[in-house]
Amino acid sequence: MNKTLSKLIIAFIILFSSVTGVLAFSSNSETYKLEGEFGMFGGAKSSETYKMTDTGGGFAVGFGSSANYGTGSGFQYVIAEVREIIFTISSNSVDLESLSTTPKGVPNIITVTTNGAGGYKVSVVEDDNLCTSGTDCITDVSGGTVDPSTEEYGLGTSKSGQYFAEDSDCPNSPFNATAIDNQVRQVASADAPIDNDQTTLCYEAAITGTTPAGSYSHVLTYIATGTF
């Protein structure tokens, strides 16, 4: 029996020696306090067909977020990257003010943070053209730019490779723009996880002398999608 017991103890030691230990920590000052923990087990494992990490025994793990941040607590949240996407629009109101025959552009910034492995995309769709409450509407831009003394309205983006024309120098000339319509059109994207990725959208317009006087408006809906 003693021999058997010795074999079991040796097996036990070998078994547990393959597990990486988890170190606890604690630290504090007048302005902060960090809580440590004692994990039971944890580490990275792999074979030809899989890779994985694990921890056990941690406490206070979980995910939290507000409008402007997302956070994961616990070793596995840090390592495994909890699914997260945050999307903000710098202003929900863009006023082109008084239009003239000279083109103008007004910038608005959208920002995305995501740990989606496939990045993200942001699309936009309009409820209608830029119109008065009556039947007068500013003509959608054509030809890729908003030109002087031409009634045109459209949207440019600082991101390349989008549905909308690239305009990296808003609000200055050239006023590269593409018409917004009632189809969901891509205006920004990234193909990998990214932090605080800003895109400057440029709303651009010009009119002719006969563009009917009035107050014009429409509503754009922005949709951000992460790919995880």
Partner 1 sequence: MRKSKKSMHKRLFFLIFASTLVVSGLLIYVSNNAQAASHTAVSDTLSRLQSSQSADHTITFTLASAWNATETVVIDFADGDGWDTTGFANTEAEDYDIKWGAAEKTIVAQGSCAADSIEITTVNTTTDTFTFTLCSGSTASGANEVIEIQIGENATTGGSGNDQIENATGTGSKKIIITGPTSGDSASLAVPIMDSDQVTVSATVDPTITSDLTPGAAPYTCSLGTLDNGAVNGCEITNTVSTNAASGYNSTIVENGNLCSPSVAVCTYWIADTVGGTIAAGEEEYGVSTTDTNATGITADYDGVACGGATENGSAITGIAQVYADETAAIASDATTLCHAASITATTEAGSYSHVTTHITTGNF
Does 203 help bind partner 1 (rule: CB under 8 A)?
Answer: yes
Among 91, 168, 172, 198, binds partner 1 (CB under 8 A): 91
Give φ, ψ of 11 to 5 degrees. Answer: -60, -40
Does 38 help bind partner 1 (rule: CB under 8 A)?
Answer: no
CA 82 to chain centre: 15
Does 163 help bind partner 1 (rule: CB under 8 A)?
Answer: no
210 token code pair: 């006969």
Element (H, E) at 71: strand 70-73
Contact region with partner 1 (CB under 8 A), list: 24-32, 114-122, 161-169, 188-196: 114-122
Reduce the DSSP state of residue 10 to 3 states and report it.
helix
Closest distance between partner 1 and the C-beta of residue 53, in Å? 11
CA distances from 131 to 124, 211, 212 (A): 18, 11, 10
Does 79 help bind partner 1 (rule: CB under 8 A)?
Answer: no
Does 139 help bind partner 1 (rule: CB under 8 A)?
Answer: no
Closest distance between partner 1 and the C-beta of residue 71, in Å? 9
Euclidean distance between the first and the last CA atom of the chain, given in angstroms as a whole number: 55
Among 24, 59, 69, 192, binds partner 1 (CB under 8 A): 69
